[in-house]
Amino acid sequence: MGQSSLPQIKSRGELVIATDPTYPPFEYMEKEKMVGFDVDIGNEIGKDLGLKVRWVGLEWAGVLGSLESGKCDLAMAGVTITEERKKHGYIFSRPYMLSGQEIVRRKGDNRINGPKDLIDKVVSVQQETTGQYAVQKLGVPKDRLLRFDQVQDGLMNVRNGKSDATVGDLPTIKAILQKGYPELEMVGEPFVKESLGIVVWKNNADLDGLINRSLALMMVDGRYAAAYKKWFKEPLTTSIVAELENRKGQGSPVKEIPLENFAKIERAPNMGGSAFTFRWDLVREALPQMLKGALLTIELTLLSLIFGIPSGLIFALMRISKAKPLKAIATVYVEIIRGTPLLMQIYVIYFVLPAVGLELSAMVSGILALSLNAAAYISEIFRAGIESIDSGQMEAARSLGMTYGQAMQNVILPQTVRRVLPPMTNEAVALLKDSSLVSVVALAELMRVGKEIATNGGSPTTVYVTVAAIYLAMTLPLTWLVRRLEDQWQPISRPRDGARTFKKVKA
């Protein structure tokens, strides 16, 4: 998709707005409909420009990145105006909402009464938000800073006792606590004052000028006040309006453009194509961090295989066993794991188990979830492998006086291992890729690192291409290595009719 510019937006007749609809009262889903303060304001901007508005719900990590790629024209997601983001090429409108970073603790937890008390505590935040930056600035070290995709994950974590406090945007925290989390409370006034702005990519300064004009109009004609009252459940006071006017300079230095100018713009012919440049500087800057993420990915995969393969074998042996209870346990286990998404299993282990008193760190939860998942799939691979061995092999071994266990160990399993090598490789590769899902419990593996860099780096395309290359660099050698092993282990076989023997088969 091409980069958006006013003539193209005009010919499209549609304003595309990126957001993350897990953020009440700014934007959230209500009965499959996206609603909220931003949604009302954004729709009014569309009306002012004579455009339809299409809302695109993304994960927060993808919201800003969608602007650079031209997939969306502007972002409204309660985005805080920061100099860092401006530096990366984002243009902000004038502030359209006052915000600030608010601390949340468990009710009555008297150890936390202000920002200074956070320094020696475990704090969760939504990743790559100004909340995270504010907490980092306080001096909370990385290992006690748990970063999640969603605000709610942070709140859940405090409730579970996995962290002591969470920090987030005041309006959102307020809205969520009004509806749920009776065991949590806010700590005093926000300790960092912030302003929220509407975001466009740097090539769209004109659009920003129009937005500023539209916002200015809304603030005088009462539309802004109506939306404010509706979503923040309090009247818009003159002091808030004055403060917003005061902070006007916090937005990017773009002049208001009269709306009539937009009406006069000619429709552009469809240009097609895009001027994408691969940002080597960004790669150089981010590579060390990505490689660290890749290392964690490898660690997660290896540990999960180390636990998953033996347990998979045990489940497989239980499943083919004649003892009914063993068989039943293994069958139920495999069906449950195979029948539910891995992401849900990770959530259950990390967020739900604490509710029944089982407290696990993010790393242990991640490895546990991946191992349990891998064990189920691996047990099916082993089972199929064992069952594919001719029954005469077991009979011959038993007729020689071997016990069932001896026959399994010395006759059946050595043959099974050779046979299951290819599907086992598939499983290992799948596991390596699936390990990206544990990023939801705040583990900085490769995918997670990529997301973080893409959120603010300005060129998600560059970041994701690089991440993909690193994943390939990990999986391709694995497949290659196993193919080599397979060649060497090829069971010596003899065609029925010929006299030639094959010791090795060329791949």
Partner 1 sequence: MKPVLTIRDLHKSFGKNEVLKGINLSVGEGEVIALIGASGSGKSTLLRCVNRLETPTSGSIEYQGQTISDVNINQMRREIGMVFQRFNLFPHLTAADNIALAPRKVLGSETAIARAAAIDLLKQVKLAEKADAFPGELSGGQQQRVAIARALGLKPKVMLFDEPTSALDPELVGEVLEVMRDLAQLGMTMIVATHEMGFAREVAKRVIFLDSGRILEEGSPDQVLGNPKEERTREFLSRVLNR
Residues in the site for partner 1, rule: CB under 8 A? Answer: 390, 392-393, 395-403, 406, 410-411, 414-415, 418, 491-494, 501
* Host H or E run for residue 52: strand 52-57
**Torsion sign, CA atoms 237, 240, 245, 251:** negative
Q: Which is nearer to partner 1, 186 or 394 (CB)?
A: 394
Give least dist CB 499 to partner 1, A.
Answer: 9
Smallest gap from residue 415 Cβ to partner 1 (A)? 5
Rounded Cα gap, residues 380 and 29, in angstroms: 39
Q: Which is nearer to partner 1, 426 or 493 (CB)?
A: 493
Residue 456 and residue 65: Cα distance in Å, rounded?
7
Residue 256 tokens read as 């208001």
CB nearer to partner 1: give 284 or 506. 506
Q: CB-wise, 116 or 494, nearer to partner 1?
A: 494
Angle between helical axes of 460-489 and 446-457 (0-180°, round to 10)? 160
**Closer by beta carbon to partner 1, 71 or else 398:** 398
Q: How far is the CB of 60 from partner 1 (least distance, A)?
A: 54
Residue 14, beta-bridge partner list: 52
The answer to whether the CB of 345 falls within 8 A of the CB of 373 is yes
The nearer residue to partner 1, 393 or 426, going by C-beta atoms, is 393
Token digits for 407?
A: 């026959």
Instruction: Please give the Cα distance from 305 to 322 (Å, whole number).
Output: 27
Q: How long is the chain? A: 507
Q: Is 181 left (phi over 0), alpha (psi -120 to 50) or beta?
A: left
- CB of 491 closer than 8 Å to CB of 99: no
Closest CA to 148 of 157, 140, 138: 157
Residue 340 vs 409, nearer CB to partner 1 = 409
Task: Return the number of the residue (364 or 421) whose C-beta is nearest partner 1.
Answer: 421
The CB-of-313 to partner 1 minimum distance in angstroms stands at: 18
Q: Does residue 26 sit in helix, strand or coil?
A: coil
CB of residue 496 to partner 1, shortest distance in Å: 10
Report the distance separating Cα 257 and Cα 205, nearest Å: 10
Q: What φ, ψ does residue 358 adopt, rounded to 5°?
A: -105, 105
Whose Cβ is closer to partner 1: residue 167's or residue 407's? 407
Distance, CA of 462 to CA of 121 (rounded, Å) = 36
Contacts of 329 (CB under 8 A, 6+ apart): 318
**How does DSSP assign 119-136, residue by residue?**
TTS-EEEETTSHHHHHHH
Contact 473, 467 (CB under 8 A): no
Work out how close the CB of 393 gets to partner 1 at its nearest, in angstroms, rounded to a whole number: 6
> Which CB sits closer to partner 1, 329 or 402?
402
Alpha helix stretches (DSSP H) within 222-279: 223-232, 238-246, 259-264
Nearer to partner 1, 289 or 415 (CB): 415
Which are the contacts of 372, defined by CB distance < 8 A and separation ≥ 6? 308, 311, 337, 345, 349
